[in-house]
Structure formats: structure tokens, C-alpha cells
Amino acid sequence: MKAVLQKAFGTIVNKKNQPLGEHLIAEFWGVKIEEDMAKIEKILSEAARRTDSMPLEVVSHKFSPQGFSAVILLAESHIALHYWPEEEYLAVDIFTCGKRTDPQKGLEYLKEQFQPKKIEIQKINRGKLLS
């Protein structure tokens, strides 16, 4: 596979084949969130601080009649939230790269803030060749 990728895309930059980033995908079930976008943006900013990442920009959109999407762009990648109040469901996406960042700390903070009744988490190491 590595040879196929090299032929198709040229030299593979990640020569040590170590993950370049960690991607946490979390499903928060049983959440009831006040759809105050200024508050949501502050929560995203604090989650970014807790991951030891550098925030670049926050964008959010409140849907009518309900629900929202909010993303904070980081120098090290992003944190995104997508909320379906009719399902009491929040999709959480935290992707950070770099040796000093810790996406788990951001996830723990989001758990504290939104207090889901059930959580499912997937962890993906990004930027590592699988074979």
C-alpha cells in the first residue's frame, strides 16, 4: 500500500509513520442545551484552551426553529458541535495535531458543560499510514 501511495502521490512526508493528530468523535445523547450562541462560542473557546490549542476563529449558526452548528478553527485543526434538540443529541468533533495538544481535556470540559446521559466516543489517529 505504501508503495502505491508513493507512486500516486510522490514522497510520503510522514517518514516516521507516527500519528500527526488525534481525532475524537463523540456522540452526546440526552442533552438539553440552551441555544445561546454567545455562550456556545465561549464554551468552544474554553474547550480549545483546555486542549492547549491556539484558537483562530469561531463560527456559529442557529437554525430556525431550533438547533445549531458551531466550529472553532484552531491553528492545530478544529472543534465542532452540531446540535439536534428534537433528538437531545450533540455531535462533537475534536481534531488536534501537535505533540503538546490534548483533545481529551477538551472533551472532558464539553462533558462537564453539556452533561450528556450517554456518551459514545471514537478515537482516530490521523496522518499515519495504515500499512
- What pLDDT, in 10s, does the model give residues 58-110? 999 999 999 999 999 999 999 999 999 999 999 999 999 988 899 999 999 99
> What angle, rounded to 10 degrees, do the helices at 37-50 and 103-114 form?
150
pLDDT given at position 112: 98
Q: Please identify which of the residues 23, 53, 77, 78 carries the catalytic annotation.
A: 77
The residue-averaged pLDDT of 99-123 equals 96
97 included as an active-site residue: yes
77 closest CA partner among 105, 60, 102: 102
Say what the pTM is. 0.85
Q: What residue spans define the domains of the chain? A: 19-126
| C-alpha–C-alpha distance, residues 10 and 36, integer Å | 47
pLDDT given at position 10: 44
131 included as an active-site residue: no
Q: What single string gives the DSSP state of each residue in 1-63?
A: -HHHHHHHHSS-S-TT---SEEEEEEEEES------HHHHHHHHHHHHHHTT--EEEEEEEE-
82 included as an active-site residue: yes
Q: Please identify which of the residues 23, 53, 78, 97 carries the catalytic annotation.
A: 97
β-pairing, 89-97 vs 118-126, is unpaired
Q: Would you tell me which CATH number, out of the four given (3.40.50.300, 3.40.50.280, 3.40.50.150, 3.60.90.10), belongs to the domain 19-126?
A: 3.60.90.10
**% of the chain exceeding 90 in pLDDT:** 76
